Amino acid sequence: MDDSLCEALSKACGECHLAGGCCFEARPPLSQKRIDILVANGVSPDAIEFAGYKRLKLRPDGFCMLFQDGRCAVHSIKPETCVAGPFTFDMLGSTLRIFLKKESICPMVRILKADRKAYDGLFEVSTEKIIDLVRALPTSELEEILKIEEPETDLVAEISLEDWKPCPEQCKRH
């Protein structure tokens, strides 16, 4: 992505954060690898909790523990689902289903839909990060994450994950 496009996406993200955005009530799932990276870079282990899956805690005001001054304090090492931004996921057996949030939820979507190169670039990065996360999580934690509803999304891709253990029937969302 070129610099002007990155700047436009960052601006959309920043404006959204002022109104709450995806950092409000966000509990991004964390693999052990991501926890190790965060802690090695100064994030307190106290910022992490386990409630069915390892995740970042919320501050008393409802924002992610890493949200500071209108942005992520660890932007370059933030959790995989935070990198994925408006893309989210589900599993159906060994198929990874990628969804895009609606414009009413994420203002970045309008920019992505207007610029195919930006969409394709973020889709590729997001998919890679989501696959990394899904493969790194214990099955029981993935099952808990898949119980979380993601309303107002559109299915944009289905990806078969080779050598993937199918998710039990109870963790499939339709």
- Render pLDDT for 118-154 as a digit per residue (tens, 0 to 9): 899 889 999 999 999 999 999 999 999 999 988 899 9
pLDDT of residue 118: 86
Distance CA 26, CA 28 (A): 6
Task: Please give the DSSP secondary-structure letter assigned to residue 20.
Answer: -
pLDDT-derived band of residue 45, with 50, 70 and 90 as boundaries? very high
Q: According to the per-residue pLDDT averaged within each range, which of 36-40, 108-112, 160-164 is highest?
A: 36-40
Give the predicted TM-score (pTM) of the model. Answer: 0.84
Of the chain, the percentage scoring pLDDT greater than 70 comes to 82
pLDDT of residue 128: 92
The residue among 111, 129, 123 whose CA lies nearest residue 4 is: 111
The residue among 91, 51, 83 whose CA lies nearest residue 66 is: 83
pLDDT-derived band of residue 17, with 50, 70 and 90 as boundaries? low
Distance CA 12, CA 94 (A): 34
* Mean of all residue pLDDT scores within the chain: 85
pLDDT of residue 173: 41
Distance CA 80, CA 35 (A): 11
